[in-house]
Amino acid sequence: MDSFREPSIQGREEPPLEDRALRPQRMAEMVGQRGVYERLEIAIDAARKRRESLGHILLDGPPGLGKTTFATCIPNELGASLQIASGAALAAPKDLLPYLTNAAEGSVLFIDEIHRLPAAVEEFLYPAMEDFRIDITLGDGVAARTINMPLKPFTLVGATTRAGLLSAPLRDRFVIREHLDYYSPEELAEIVRRSATKLSMPMDDATADEIARRSRGTPRLANNRLRWIRDYSTSRADGRLDVDIARTALTMQGIDEMGLDGFDRRYLETIQRVFGGGPVGVEAIAHTMSAAPDTLEDDVEPFLLRCEFVVRTPRGRKLTPKGDEHIGGPAGRGRLF
């Protein structure tokens, strides 16, 4: 159906079609995020028992941590239908209209990248979220009149990598707000083992641990790296797989022992070499790297901040001694100015 779109998923590594095969369909199949899982489970259970629609849910966190997966599992738990839209594609209220009028009672409407909704669309959404009603203005000037159209009670699930960019009125209309954090190596190793089973790849624990350790706490990266290792094993190792083969395959992709790829290291090296370790604004780094500031802020910095390789100061980003060491410091070596 036209109105059912695949979500656009941000990130450097695009999700292949097989992603769908690896994506859990039920919440019980999801690994990690226990706090979020338990709170959502309670809200879903209560909605089901009271035969009411579930309150609107906002999920935020870096790309690839499971926001879309939660959003697709929730309607499965409720036995309800799901529509998927992307904030970037909803340019005007009329783009949102079919989703709202198609929403069945108790169904879920998932809006990915909800921080990218233009203000006019956001305002159109307020009465839909609050009173399950939309206000449509017909005509112009003195002849203009507003028609109120009732909607079926539905649940909006919004996902964002930038909760800070959401306007307060929109944020306040979400009853449940959850932040997804990076996965521990143990949780990620469990995801790798489950995905390997789904891909019919026999794997020992040491190999699963190694892939997990090198996946930046992110299930999407773990799955993508697993697929690459499978290709490498088929093409170069007669289908054999052990920790050394996994390591060789990942090194060939420029992935280091912390899971950073060439782009992450280039970011650190730019701060170190070009800006003498910082502090430097993200725009200047992005400009030097010919990258979009958004990509750095969404995709690169959260994990490097978490690793304490960089810090954010009022005057910009600064490389830490730990970050400096990771790329073979000392800071300032070969600095340009």
Return residues touching ligand ADP (CB under 6 A): 9, 19, 22-24, 30-33, 63-69, 159, 191, 219-220, 223
Question: What is the SS3 assignment for 85-123?
Answer: EEHHHCCCHHHHHHHHHHCCCCCEEEEECHHHCCHHHHH
Q: Smallest distance from the beta carbon of 69 to ligand ADP, in angstroms?
A: 3
Q: Which of 29, 112, 16, 23 is nearest to 63 (CA)?
A: 112
Question: Which CB, 20 or 240, lies closer to ligand ADP?
Answer: 20
Q: Quick one: 30 or 128, whose CB is closer to ligand ADP?
A: 30
Do residues 165 and 46 make contact, with C-beta atoms less than 8 angstroms apart? Answer: no
Determine which one of 60, 72, 112, 155 is catalytic.
Answer: 112
Q: How far is the CB of 248 from ligand ADP (least distance, A)?
A: 24
Which residue type occupies 321? P
What is the bridge-based pairing of β-strands 133-138 and 145-150?
A: antiparallel
320 is catalytic: no
Catalytic residue among 214, 216, 220, 273: 220
For 7, which DSSP code? Answer: P
State which residue, 171 or 220, has the beta carbon closest to ligand ADP.
220
Residue 32: CB minimum distance to ligand ADP, A: 5
Active site (annotated) includes residue 335: no
Nearest CB to ligand ADP, comparing residues 65 and 255: 65
Quick check: is 207 catalytic? no
Which residue in the shown chain puts its C-beta closest to ligand ADP? 66
Residue of 67, 173, 214, 273 with catalytic role: 67
Q: C-beta of 101: minimal distance to ligand ADP in Å? A: 26
Q: Which residues contact 44 (CB under 8 A, 6 or more apart)?
A: 27, 54, 74, 77, 78
* Smallest separation, CB 35 to ligand ADP (Å): 12
Task: Give me the catalytic one of 23, 60, 68, 69.
Answer: 68
For ligand ADP, give the closer residue by CB, 124 or 182. Answer: 182
Nearer to ligand ADP by Cβ, of 84 and 255: the residue is: 84
Provide the strand spans (E) within the chain: 57-60, 82-86, 108-112, 133-138, 145-150, 155-160, 176-179, 310-313, 316-319
What are phi and psi for residue 247, nearest 5 degrees?
-60, -45
φ and ψ at residue 177, rounded to 5 degrees: -125, 120
Task: State the minimum distance, in angstroms, from the CB of residue 179 to ligand ADP.
Answer: 11
Catalytic residue list contains 112:
yes
236 is a catalytic site residue: no
Output the six-digit token pair for 157: 């699930």
Q: Which residues are catalytic?
A: 67-68, 112, 161, 220
